[in-house]
Structures are given as C-alpha cells and as structure tokens.
Amino acid sequence: MTGFPDDLGGAPEGPGPEEPLLRQPPGYLAPPPGSFGQIRRRAARRRRLRTAGGGVAAAAVLAGSVYLVGALTPRGTDDRGSPAATGSPTSPAPRTPRPAPPVTTESRATPGTHGAPPPSVPSAAASSPARDTPTPSGTPTSTGQGSATPMCTASQLTASLGGSDGAAGSVYRYLLLTNRGATACHLTGYPGVSVLDADGRQIGAPADRSPMDYTAVVLGPGEAASDTIRTANHLGTCRPASAKVRVYPPGSRASLVIPGELTVCDELFTITPLAAGRTGNPPA
C-alpha cells in the first residue's frame, strides 16, 4: 500500500492510527533576541519627549502670562496709582529746576543811579501802591542833575490839583508835587494816581500812563513838578465824581491823599510823566 486512496474509487480511508499528521505542532515563535529591551528604550524615549514637550508648553504659557501682565500694567505706577519700584539699582536723577523767568518790574529812580529807574520787585506784601502804580510807559532820557540829589520822599512833598482845560471832548487837570523840605531832591517818571470817594474807597482803576519820554526833575526847596491828568468830558458812561485823590510819588510806597473832584468818563483816565513847572507835561 501507498497510503493514498484507491484509484479505483470508493471512499478515502482516514489515516490509520499508526500514520503521523503532516502539520506544524502547536505553539508561538519566540521573539527575536533583544526586542524587549528595544521596546522599553523606545517607550522611555517617548516618555521623555512627552515630559520635555509639556515643560516647554508650560514655560511658553508662563512667559505669555508675564508678558500680558506687563503690557496691561501702566508703567511707572502700581495698582494704587503710586510710583512703582522698577527694580533698577539706581533711582532716576532729580530734575534740575528751571530758573524763574525775569519779573517785570516797575522802574523808579533811586539816589546814585543817575536818575535811571531801578526795579521794584512786586511781592504778596505789596499793598495798594502796586495797583496805583502800573508798569511805566515811555523811555527815560538824560537825567541831568538828578544823580547829584536824593529822590524825593512822600514826607518831603505836598500834592495839589492845579488848573484845568478842555479840548476835543477831553478835560485836562494838572497835578503838582512841591518840595516842602529844606534840601533839594529829584523826581523821575510817573506818579501813581487814583480817585477815592468820601469814605476813602477807590473808584475804578488807577490812571493809565501816556507813553512819553521823561527825565529827572530836580526840585529845590519850594519848587514844584507837575503832570497832566486827562479824562473824558462827560462822554459815555461816567463813574461817580471823586471826593479825594490819592497820589504815590515816583518810587514811593507811601501815598498822599488830597481833596479833589475828578469824574472819569468813557474809561478815559491817563497821566503823563512829571516835568518841571506847574503847567503839566508838556508844559502849557
């Protein structure tokens, strides 16, 4: 027998108990040598990569948060609005104060200055003379003998109103300052003039200054200097008539108050600088 079915037909016969099966015995192939170590190394590498990627992402999130906080926080101040510390080892250099601008001062003559008007610095302690003596207008010219004599003080002078004249809708009144002392003195520039009511209250603003050149006027004992007060001749709106006139001699903070009636109309109230004589400036 050959062990195959009979060629002549009939059902094939199964293998006999003594014949072996032609198939692979059960079981699995063993893994290649070193494959488990390679798998462990790859897994450990993936874990390290995941850990490193998470750290980089966390650092990026933290850096973005710090940037946003810095961008949204006002520089130089904390959340309470006060100056914040910047962490700089040095503090900002203090600002150097700018020099104060020169103060516009009133020009007054003083002894030994050749009649040139020195500055008079205004201060909070200055009283009504600052109102009655605005910044002078005009230009001083040669002082002549003014440098050889002291400036006249209010205690050396008497004030009075002289004659008046009218022309072209204006009224002109002369203001005289007379040296009643025993020695010579000089006056330079404009006096301060304002009008008062019977109770001594000032009526309106002091007189403005007419721009004119002027020079020192030397007054011997009994001599006078004068200037011209100009007002409107009852044109426009008029202030109440004055009962008194207050006069500040040039360079003096003491005033002289004299009786006098002046009516300021149409806001015209000016005065010229002092000149020698009793007929105003320019002399009549």
CA angle 183, 184, 185 (to 5 degrees): 120
* Terminal CA-CA length for the chain: 177
pLDDT tens string 238-271: 999 999 999 999 999 999 999 999 999 999 999 9
pLDDT tens string 93-147: 556 556 555 544 444 433 333 344 444 434 433 334 434 444 445 667 655 556 6
Separation CA 174–CA 169 (nearest Å): 17
Scanning the chain, the segments in alpha helix (DSSP H) are: 35-72, 129-132
Amino acid at the residue 68: L
pLDDT tens string 179-224: 999 999 999 999 999 999 999 999 999 999 999 999 999 999 999 9
- Comparing 166 with 108, the larger pLDDT belongs to 166
E-strand ranges in 155-262 read 157-167, 170-179, 185-187, 192-196, 208-209, 217-219, 224-232, 244-248, 256-259
- Comparing 67 with 158, the larger pLDDT belongs to 158
From 206, 211, 179, select the one nearest 194 (Cα to Cα): 206
Against a cut of 0.75, is the pTM above it? no
39 — pLDDT class (breaks 50, 70, 90): confident
